[in-house]
A and B are shown apart, each in its own frame.
Chain A
Amino acid sequence: MGKIEEANDKAIKRIIEAKPMGTGVKKAKAVIPGMTERTILHAGPPIKWQRMSGPTRGAIIGASIFEGWADNEEGAVKLAESGEIKFAPCHDHDAVGPMAGIISPSMSVYIVENQVHGNKAYCNFNEGLGKVLRYGAYSKEVIDRLKWIEKDMAPLLAEAFKRSGPIDLKEIISKALHMGDECHCRNVATSHIFLKVMAPYMVETGFDKETISKVLRFMGTNELTFLQLLMAACKAMADAGHCIDYSTLVTALTRNGTDFGIRVSGLPGQWFTAPAPTPKTLFFPGFKEGDEGRDIGDSAIAETMGLGGFASANSPAVVQVVGGTPQTAADYSREMREITVAEHPSFTMPFMNFRGVPIGIDLRKVVETGILPFINTGVAHKDAGVGGVGFGLVRAPMECFKKALRAFAEKYGGS
């Protein structure tokens, strides 16, 4: 066996054996490595304010108002332009954020620990759909909801986690895959299972009934409640296979609304980017073609772990958004086997005779076959301040993989 195959075997073994557990909730500034009082983390590869997409800018404006750094849009933009805020990718700080992926110091985050290898991952809370910060909205209702999350929801969940002890997120994902979720755009089962597990502990906290009731209702009516925990779990698992010399496995697919970026296990500390594509979108009522922004969010960490688009066979309804059929959905999952090195034994798909989801994207296979990773995704409005416009399907751009292959050959002597 050659060095690359050996390295990939080692990386995929670590990724598959990783065991992500939800262990608690704390403020970002208290737990995320390198998070300062004036740091804002964003989704995707590194980017400066001047090149940021509308939704990313909008979410930064909202986060600045939420933090009390600015009173309004004008003040927030001025602050962002001043260079006083350090912008950095969530991924470079052991974190992930959906859509714009903005995490500011005072936001609460879920803490996920990989109990097998000891690494941790963090993600903020899901606010629901539509006019929400992660889609770039920053109106009063958005800021009020974020403040309510900090005042009521986060303390309640933090206390509930103390009572529950570590929650096995891998088990929740495994179960949900047998309940119709593809675990990216459809997180109905994961969210319900998580709520079922946590509800008794939330009640036992002794918080007042009104708060508990409001939080339970908020989580129960939000079918993406679990998305952030799922993303942090995927990040914790994928990172277990990162930094393995000679490994050609992709350990992150991600986007910031301007650029699409990938990380590769054997090339730590480097980003390989290309312009972010525009998803084929099914629009929410009131929006139309031309409203959509370019591909955005760290949530493609789900596809990196064989979920979402890679597990399309599980959720034909997601593919249906752009006219697909159950057959198309199964074809997407089959196609992704061509660019991956394994099938996850714990994440299986009933409609594929319980075969595991395709996992471990090998950048060599992507370049050689021309088959691009297939991603299910939320879609934000192209402009700051509007919010979500729909759901869509998109492919990663080839140029990221070609750049990574050149860098790999250069580092390991192949060129």
Chain B
Amino acid sequence: MTDSRIDYYAVKKHAHDHGDHDHSHDDHAPVAGEDEGPPSEFAIMSRAMQEILEAKGVITAEQVTRRMEQFEEDFPYRGSRVVARAWTDPEFRKRLLDDGKAACTEMGVDLEADRLIAVENTPEVHNMIVCTLCSCYPRALLGMPPTWYKSRSYRSRVVFEPRAVLKEFGTELPDNVTVRVHDSNADMRYVVIPMRPQGTEGWSEDQLADILTRDTLVGVTVPRVRT
């Protein structure tokens, strides 16, 4: 399921203008019927393990459900808000760059076990995030990673040919801009602070958060003012 608000590429591909997409959260509420066909052996395995552990009192069904809800309804919306604040508040931006986790805590965003390094785009530098070894991602800030982030192609090629991969996302950068790839292979997690585009002067944080899609915060696209 792709919420256009968190999948910039989906918006771009279908050339929606600003009025078209709905900002409500109902678009992507879990729908049991969205799956197709019988469950796979792995779906069965996962369900079986969960029930064994529930029966043994190791976990409860409510804990798992609550966690699902957090991943769906809470985590995906935090990153845009944090970076929108950095766009409007230069002192907050400094604090975010200095200690990402503490700055998030300031905004009531609990990153749990993750530590955060924010990296800022400038006219000279474009940042891009990957985890080649698995798919480390700041989940408590951005929600679950998109399928492309977890794919073999992304994981193997971004470190070797970032500009070619950016092009596949529709992003082209001139040679006088440094592409700086971050392979988040250990304890740190990363978020990109994109450059704020022209035409956003006087915008509210909500409006700014709206163009700070997930894809811009991972560094595969840049925010665009939709006209």
Genuine A/B complex: no
Which B residues have a C-beta under 8 Å from some C-beta of A? none
